[in-house]
Amino acid sequence: MSRNIIPTYSLLSLILMSLCFVLTNADVECTDVMSNLSPCQGFLMKGDESPSVACCSGAQAVDKQFQDSDKPDRESICLCLNNALKKLPIDPMKAADLPFLCNLIMDPNIDCPE
């Protein structure tokens, strides 16, 4: 008996598809930001006690991109992260702890354009 195997996708990857956007003058795409942060799913959404090395590496890549970017790209990254916080079941306390735990410069409370 053969079974059809349907690929399973994580909640994160399905919701990320709906979050993808690019600001008109920005070179940063939300898909790239969220791809870097996908290893953080276990920590931010599933209750892992600490972020993995892969999570911190991805978060540091986003942080570096943010620090090295111009204003439109920073706004794009910021809006992408804020939309993820609003639409994904992310624990806000863990999101606030991520910069400290992964040695990030980016402030999680940064003001984004509306």
Residues whose CB falls within 8 Å of the CB of residue 107, separated by 6 or more in sequence, listed in order: 99
* pLDDT tens track for 16-38: 444 443 334 457 788 999 999 99
Range 83-110 average pLDDT: 84
* pLDDT tens track for 40-76: 999 999 889 999 999 999 999 999 988 888 888 888 8
Fold of 11-17+26-101: Hydrophobic Seed Protein (1.10.110)
Do 78 and 110 contact (CB within 8 A), yes or no? yes
User: Per-domain residue ranges for the chain?
Assistant: 11-17+26-101
109 band by pLDDT with thresholds 50, 70 and 90: low
Q: How far apart are CA 66 and CA 12, in angstroms?
A: 22
Residues whose CB falls within 8 Å of the CB of residue 97, separated by 6 or more in sequence, listed in order: none
pLDDT at residue 74, rounded to an integer: 85
